[in-house]
């Protein structure tokens, strides 16, 4: 185990492009994520938040994100608690736990890129300015984004992220996105 940890440390000491891990990330997505990422409960939660947030402008989104980042350590904060304390978040935590350490985090975003549900608190609320959202929701149904493997602020683990567009099954239209952090060591 120590040898594996040392090898992972050496591999991760230099920048690692997603392309080096893409086949493993694709395989993990196909076997472990694709069958539940567009589940009815996730779709319903996104649709509800999209309806509630339909009038948000960028200034308000920026304000919410700033407030979230200032309160990351306070899980009972008015913005953070509803994201962490809901049935979808409970289900995400159960998936992380059942993965045996392969999944480091899971979070769901609405059409603005704002967190809807999360297995644990994220470092920010608004993902809309990041590739994980822009390359999925922004590109439509069927879009997938594989990140580079890097040290994640939230989890303090080396991970790659798999992000996919969540669609409305009735219309086929994108309604949000989901990101799953995958422990780099589990990909080796």
The pTM of this model reads 0.88
User: In the 8-state DSSP scheme, what is residue 162?
Assistant: E
Query: Per-residue DSSP letters for 41-75?
Result: HHHHHHHHHHHHTTT--HHHHHHHHHHHHHTTT-T
- pLDDT in 10s for each residue of the chain, 188 residues: 443 343 344 344 444 444 678 898 999 999 999 999 999 999 999 999 999 999 999 999 999 999 999 999 999 999 999 999 999 999 999 999 999 999 999 999 999 999 999 999 999 999 999 999 999 999 999 999 999 888 877 777 789 999 999 999 999 999 999 999 999 888 87
- Tokens representing 15 are 């920048």
Helix (H, G, I), strand (E, B) or coil at 97: helix
Q: For 17-187, give the CATH class.
A: alpha beta
């Amino acid at each position: 185990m120590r040898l594996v940890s040392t090898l992972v440390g050496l591999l991760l000491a230099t920048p690692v492009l997603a392309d080096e891990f893409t086949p493993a990330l694709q395989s993990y997505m196909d076997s472990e994520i694709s069958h539940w990422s567009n589940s009815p409960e996730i779709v319903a939660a996104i649709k509800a938040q999209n309806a509630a947030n339909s009038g948000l402008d960028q200034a308000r989104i920026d304000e919410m994100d700033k407030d979230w980042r200032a309160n990351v350590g306070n899980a009972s904060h008015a913005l953070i608690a509803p994201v962490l304390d809901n049935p979808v978040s409970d289900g995400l935590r159960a998936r992380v736990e059942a993965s045996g350490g392969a999944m480091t985090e899971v979070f769901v975003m609405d059409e603005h890129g704002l967190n809807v549900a999360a297995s644990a608190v994220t470092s920010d609320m608004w993902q809309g300015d990041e590739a994980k959202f822009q390359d999925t929701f922004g590109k439509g149904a069927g879009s997938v984004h594989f990140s580079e493997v890097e040290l994640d602020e939230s989890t303090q683990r080396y991970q790659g992220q798999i992000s996919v567009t969540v669609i409305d099954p009735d219309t086929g239209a994108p309604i949000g996105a989901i990101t799953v952090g995958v422990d780099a060591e589990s990909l080796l």
